[in-house]
Amino acid sequence: MTKFAFIVPPLTGHVNPTLSVGRKLIERGHHVTWVALHQFEIPEGGNFILLKEVETRKAEVDIILQSAKRGSTISSALASIPFVYNDILIPLAKIMIDGVMRVLDDIQPDIIISDEHAFAGGMAAYKKQIPYLTFRTIPADTTDLAYQNVSSWISSQMKKLQQGCDINTEDEIVTSTQLIIIFSSYKFTGKFNFPSHYKFVGPAIDERPESASPDWLRTLEKDAINILVSVGTIERSDKGLFFSAVVEALKDEPISVIAVADPDLLPQWPANFIVKTRIPQLALLPFLRGVVCHGGHNTVCEALFFGIPLIVMPMAFDQYHVASQVVQSGAGLRLKFKRIDVNQLRDAVRAIIENPEFRVAAENISTSFQEAGGANAAADYIEEFSLEFSRQ
């Protein structure tokens, strides 16, 4: 039995893959602990440790999480990068590092699995001389989002962070140099070349249990034309304007629209709209013919896992890069969120439903995801990694 510790940031999309992989590791007889700044449900047989800093530094944590919500107002990928690092990820690392070090002393893990955006995980592992690997749950390469010097700027910020945490090395150690597990496929990522320690496993969603209620199943028939419209959980003042445009575009179309929104957002919704604040997304995806979304990596990969074409309207962060991946793969179309055009949206929805080329491209990506192996493949790589260190 190997003792694994997941170090995760308080960002749901980064936690979900660890749950699928962690479940596999537990089933294989390993001891698995999650260390985090926020509470969430873990697989049966796992262990959870909530960092004390969630209370002792609550005001700072709250400010960071509010900053993450405000980030959706940033209008370009390039502007998003310094915001994400300076306002969210680096402050989170500074808050988490002492707590993570303390927990590692208590639980004595054999291997640390750190999310790429939980910088404290890699730094603590390095300081404690514990072998560690990295989970990458965003697009495999985001430097293509921006222009030259972005990569060097990020590198300089990481080195400053390391120095501030008493790590005296010129190397960047926040991510592993020995194993990075990427929850995408090489085919979907596109043109980049990656080092041999980058391992693509596709989305780890096949082991995440989720079911639809009988009410949902009665509403969504397999042969019906159902589409999903979701722009994530980030609060935005212009969500009302967005969904007003969606209603205008699709109210008279012969389709059923599942809108993930507050039902009170608009005074009235058309008869062909089903409006819910939360949905069992994984359970509903097999019933859909298309997805309209903001380009969140998890939503996009979940849709493509089921071979569903997309219309992507990025708002911030890595969503611009995800949108580019969707378009270059042929699995969907890209529209502007802030200047949404009713006619363009209507035409785009018709296109992804009626043009079989989009579905074929989405199914090709789905095949690449499933061939990558998902949670099982990730668990295999992790066991191989731990075995190497047990031999030393």
DSSP string spanning 103-167? HHHHH--SEEEEETT-HHHHHHHHHHT--EEEEE-S-S--GGGS-TTHHHHHHHHHHHHHHHTT-
E strand or H helix that includes residue 18: helix 12-27
pLDDT at site 390: 67
State the amino acid at position 56 in one-letter form: T
In this model, does residue 219 exceed pLDDT 80?
no
Please tell me the distance from the alpha carbon of residue 389 to that of residue 22, in angstroms, as a whole number: 20
Confidence grade of residue 327 (pLDDT, cut at 50, 70, 90): very high
Domains and CATH numbers, the chain: 3-202+373-390 (3.40.50.2000), 214-370 (3.40.50.2000)
**Integer CA distances (angstroms), 17 to 113, 208, 318, in order:** 12, 9, 18
Q: What angle do CA 288, 293, 296 make, to 5 degrees?
A: 115
Give the best-scoring range by mean pLDDT among 135-149, 214-228, 312-326.
312-326
Dig out the tokens for 311 from the structure: 């219309």
What is the length of the chain? 392
Banded pLDDT at 146 (limits 50, 70, 90): very low
Burial class (CB in 10 A: 0-12, 13-18, 19+), 55: exposed
pLDDT digits (tens, 9 = 90+) for 153-199: 888 899 999 999 999 888 899 999 999 999 999 899 876 678 899 99
The region of weakest confidence among 133-137, 161-165, 214-218, 364-368 is 214-218
Q: What is the pLDDT of residues 62-104, one digit of tens each?
A: 888 877 766 555 555 666 778 888 889 999 999 999 999 999 9
* pTM as predicted: 0.89
Confidence of residue 142 (pLDDT cuts 50, 70, 90): very low
At 378, is the secondary structure helix, strand, or coil? helix
Confidence at residue 234, expressed as pLDDT on a 0 to 100 scale:
59
- The answer to whether residue 216 scores a pLDDT higher than 90 is no
Confidence of residue 145 (pLDDT cuts 50, 70, 90): very low
H/E segment holding residue 226: strand 226-230
Beta bridge partners of 358: none
- Sheet containing strand 198-200, edge to edge, reads 47-50, 31-36, 3-7, 111-115, 132-136, 180-182, 198-200
pLDDT at residue 214 tops 80: no
The rounded mean pLDDT for the chain is 88
Tell which wins on pLDDT, 113 or 190. Answer: 113
Mean pLDDT of 371-390: 92
